[in-house]
Every structure is written in structure tokens, then in C-alpha cells.
Amino acid sequence: MSEPATVYEVGPRDRGKRLDRFLHEKIPGVSRSYIQRAIRSRITLSWGIEARPATPVRAGGRVLVGWTPVEEVLLELRIAVLARGEGWLAVDKPAGIPVHPASRVRENSLIRMLRRQEGRERLRLVHRLDRETSGVLLVAETPEAARVLSLAFERGAVRKEYLAVVRGAVREPLGVIDLPIADARGSRVYVRRETARDGQRARTRFRVERALSDRTLLRLFPETGRRHQIRVHLAAIGHPILGDILYGRADRDYLDLVRGERDARGEEGGPLRHLLHCERLEFADLAGATREIRAPVPPDFGEALADPRGEAP
């Protein structure tokens, strides 16, 4: 039998506290170092992100402490390696695979699959892609590479290009979305974000690659790296990504999917994932040489753009 979980509610005064500090305050007599060691295996967050010692807690959320038994059948899926260098490799992340263990997906997370495939337990993520996002993902093989490459992402020294199929015909051939982003207020979905005056600075450039009568293929150049930035920005200008269950839709659609009750996208006959793909990364490797990595465009993009009504006027 599994151990029952203990639940700690996150109050307004706890907003933004580190998870290890929050639990240290809630569980007297247990050292903070012990809590930090236990967080990865015993802690689940109600807002659906991976628990880490430094993860900030969210007001209104719940922190569950206890063993979470998970039964998984290992996927027979080989992750395509796009390039290798000193201390790093770049892979083509498939859509639908979370990059790190989360909720009920652990051994079938990309990083654990890649460790088994490559026979390297020290592989570490240096950035993230959302579960449904596909494309170029950079992974470090050594602590030094992890430090250098993670810092490059934090400082905005990595050039990123994404492709997205969005709802509606985007009329302007070029554009800039410069809107701050914060956690959504008043939403029942903890992971949702929104544009807000008091949010973090976020800036995304875009270029129209192809415009159809009711959808558009965009190339996007995020200049900052906020969580869900591209998805939030496109929804904010009235062109949410096709297949996005979280943005441009009611809370209910996302909550029903999480509960396993229904996927509204299937009922509509649209794609069953948001059509966002990291097509290109450009960065300096550990020797200072510029590296450019590209990932092939997935077939579902072509399917979504096969519109018999033709190009937009």
C-alpha cells in the first residue's frame, strides 16, 4: 500500500517562498537539508510543475507530501540526436513527451529516456520545452557544460527560432509583441499565465511565413525566456496557437483534459497538441565556436496547413 499524502495549503502570505523553506516552516523538527533531499521523490505540487527546492510556491495551491506510486510501461521510442559537441548534445524532442519527470510520467520523461538510450546518467537539461512542444532541445553531458549553457540561456545569449500555426490570418508580415507576463489571476488553472503591467518583461518578434484563410504559419524569435511566453503572447494578440488547450480557451477545457474526462480538441477535429516547434537554436559552445542546430518540421504542421480553401487574400 502507498503511504497517504499529507496536504499543506499555500496561503497568500506564503506566495513566492521557496518550496524547501515553506515545508521547513510547516514540518517542525525536520532539517531543511533532509527536506531538500526528499523533495524530488516525495513532493507533488497541485499546479503541475516539477518540485525542486527552489521552486516558488503559489498562493491557493497545495503541496502534497507522500509517496506517489507510478506504474509505467517503458516507451520503445528512440530520441533523434541532431548534433554532438564537447560536453553537450542536441536532440529532436517529440511532441507529447515531458522533458523531466512530472506527475505520473517519470521513466518516460525525455531526460530519463535519453539517459537510458545514451548510457549516461549524468545528462542534464539546460533549458525546457513544454510537453506538447517539439523541436531542438540542448542537453549537457558534464557539469561544466551544464553551467556554461544554462548561463547562456539565462543571459539571452542563445538565439531561438520557433514555428507556430496560429488561429486566424495574421495581416502584418512582421511584428513585435512586447507585453509583460505574470501568473494568471482569478484562473482555476494554476499553470496559466497572462499579460500584466506588473509582470516580467517579455518580448517576441514574429514573421509571417504563410497565411491561409483561417490560420497562419509564423516564425517566432523570443528575445526573453519567460515560461509559456510565445503561447501567452500569441493568445494576447488574438492569434492563439492551433491546438493549444490552455490559451485562448476556457479553463474547463484544460481541467477536463487533466482529469482525463475529455479532450475538447478531439471533439473539434483539430490537432491534439499545440503546434509549436523549436526549429532552430544558435549558441556558442564551450570553445566559443558558434553552433547552429535545426530540427525538421513535424508532419502535423503540413497537415494543419493543407487548407483546400487556399491562401488568404
Which residue in the block uniquely carries the three cell numbers 490560420?
215
Q: Residue 273 in contact with residue 279, Cβ under 8 Å?
A: no
Which residues lie across from 206 on neighbouring strands? 175, 220
Which residue in the block uniquely carries the three cell numbers 531543511?
32
Q: Point out the catalytic residue in the list 14, 20, 92, 130.
A: 130
**How many other C-beta atoms are found inside a 10 Å radius of the C-beta of residue 102?**
16
**Over the Cα atoms of the chain, what is R_g?**
20
Distances (CA, A) of 77 to 14, 81, 132, 225, 257: 41, 12, 16, 29, 24
Q: Is 253 a catalytic residue?
A: no
**What b-and-e string marks burial along 75-98, b requiring 16 or more CB atoms within 10 Å of the CB?**
eeeebeebbebebbbbbbbbbebb
Q: Hey, which residues are catalytic here?
A: 130
